[in-house]
Amino acid sequence: MLFTNVLRALPAALLFTGTQATPLGDLESRQTTIDAFIKAQTTISVNGILANIGGGGSKAPGVSAGIVVASPSRTDPDYWYTWTRDAALTYKALVERFISGDTSLRQKIDDYVSAQAYLQTVSNPSGGPDSGGLGEPKFNVDRTAFTGAWGRPQRDGPPLRATALTIYANWLIANGNKTQALNVVWPVIQKDLGYTVRYWNQTGFDLWEEVNGSSFFTLAATQRALAEGAALAKTLGQTCTGCADAAPQVLCFAQSFWTGKYIDSNINVNDGRTGLDANSILSSIHTFDPASKCTDATFQPCSARALANHKAVTDSFRSVYAINKGIAAGKAVAVGRYAEDVYYNGNPWYLATLAAAEQLYDALYQWDKQASITVDSVSLAFFKDLIPSIATGTFAKGSATYTSITSAVKTYADGYVAVVQKYTPSNGGLAEQFDKNSGTPLSAVDLTWSYAAFLTAVERRASIVPPTWGEPANNVAPATCTGTPACNAKTTFNVQATTVYGENVFVTGQLTQLGNWSPDAAKALSAAKYTASNPLWSATIDLPASTVFEYKYIRKNSAGAVTWESDPNRRFTTSAGCGSTATINDTWR
């Protein structure tokens, strides 16, 4: 009966090696096929990452040591940049691999520490080293600031980098290199944690660089970084100001993303989406702690919430991609960013599909360690897709039901790897996306993050897990969310703008406090001091201190028609210090 249940849960009637179909024989032949693919693709993925890192990478010529190029692609799309987020996630994977025994990576990791220390000093459109510049999403590969238009700031980069380096620092300490951890690695971590504490409760762009609001992924990365950063600081005899106080408040806020059925990945923004987004699955695998149980509060991979969310997110792609047509719930499908995606016409991503597999491998590890599986009303639908007769209850390791569940989940997880296998070209190159109709690779070639996602997924499959980040001691949210005191500066906007009766002037811009560029949410200016000789419109608004932002003025007439002033956007940096003041004097253009 168990064997029958496993076969019933198989993701497809065929398995694939490269682009060639192989008939499914039995479970053993299926396993052999996937194992062979993983073995070959692991080598390709490691080499793919190293090729995209400066200081010797074959596809990163002339790039400084330790700088991670997102992709060698320079046109359609141009990814010849280094993203703080991508680099941190890539190096987190490399540090974990190093700790697991690949000692050849030590110099690459030290190069990364040096490169990031330098980038932290580079002033950029998001600000200077002490005024928000750490929230800049990407830099040129020569380590200079990228000054073009972009979705900024992105507040996930600093906590992700802090996590990658904290794992390394803890290894250094455990292996007799506390001096290097303290003098070389900690200063970089400390700056990132300082940024994270200061800005965690400010909105910013999500990991897809499209939505300016509150991102679940950013909050999940933040809570982890602050918790483990506070512990590292204590070990080093240093101070992580605000970390221990902010971490539980971040966790408290994270609970508001749970809808009761799934995680709404972006809130505090009207984006017109359901919120079902691979953002949430990526969050769960990033905050996976091998020492944790199935904690709902931190959305651990095996938690009821995370499993319900896994079903909701993956199911949302079953009807939007032709290559998923006819695949029933509980069987693996190609996974994209979110169903409403229009980038490159909206397609599956290798890294998102691999993340769906990785969460399930993480869950299997956690169930094994806690020696039981609990099925409750929240997670029941997820389990019923795999075992229709399942009922709520707790099933001990060794029981028939426990064995049936773990076998079915393992098969389900392997199915996502098989999807990637099916749409990976024979040379093993992993692009960013694959076509939703044909499965042909699309967008940026040799995406570094795709290769890193493959490595972490198959390592979790092999029960190779990262060190604990202290989740068991940091998984209880306060009963009441208080946030942290806002560090605001009062900014007065004065603009000379001649108007006619019935017209009013507003200011809007990239900050939430200015309406995120929405004319409907723009802030009204007052004409109390307006005269024919001095057509002054004015308003004083609380904005985050030491923050760079872009803005514009608009006119609205009595019928509601909106007129924007001419380009380019205006730019200003708010004054430093909580409660400080600044005045902007402009003339309508």
Annotated active-site residue 432? The verdict is: no
Q: Residue 266 has what pLDDT?
A: 93
Q: Residue 202 has what pLDDT?
A: 87
CB burial string 148-159: b at 16+ within 10 A, e below:
eebebbbbbbbb
Residue 461 and residue 94 in contact, taking contact as beta carbons nearer than 8 Å: no
Q: Which of 216, 397, 404 is nearest to 306 (CA)?
A: 216
DSSP secondary structure letter of residue 177: -
Residue 296 and residue 304 in contact, taking contact as beta carbons nearer than 8 Å: yes
Annotation: binding site for substrate? 150
Q: Residue 498 has what pLDDT?
A: 96
Q: Where are the domains of the chain?
A: 33-473, 488-587
Annotation: binding site? 150
Q: Which of 312, 325, 322 is nearest to 345 (CA)?
A: 322
Residue 446 and residue 431 in contact, taking contact as beta carbons nearer than 8 Å: yes
Question: Quick one: fold of 488-587?
Answer: Immunoglobulin-like (2.60.40)
Q: Residue 269 has what pLDDT?
A: 82
> What averages of pLDDT result for each successive group of 10 residues across the chain (589 residues)?
29 34 42 86 97 97 97 97 98 98 97 98 92 94 95 95 98 98 98 94 91 94 98 97 94 96 91 93 98 97 98 97 96 97 97 98 98 98 97 97 98 97 96 98 98 98 97 94 78 97 94 88 96 96 88 95 95 87 96
Strands of 581-587's sheet in order across? 536-544, 488-496, 581-587
Annotated active-site residue 206? The verdict is: yes
CA distance 198 to 226: 11
Domain formed by 33-473, architecture: Alpha/alpha barrel (1.50)
Q: Residue 22 has what pLDDT?
A: 36
Check 209, 210, 296, 376 and give the catalytic one: 209
DSSP secondary structure letter of residue 349: B
Q: Residue 528 has what pLDDT?
A: 96
564: left (phi over 0), alpha (psi -120 to 50) or beta: beta
Torsion of CA 78, 317, 307, 410, to 10 degrees: -90
Q: Is 409 helix (H, G, I), strand (E, B) or coil?
A: helix
Q: Residue 28 has what pLDDT?
A: 47
DSSP per-residue codes, 137-174? -EEETTSPBP-S------TTHHHHHHHHHHHHHHHHHH
Check 136, 156, 206, 264 and give the catalytic one: 206
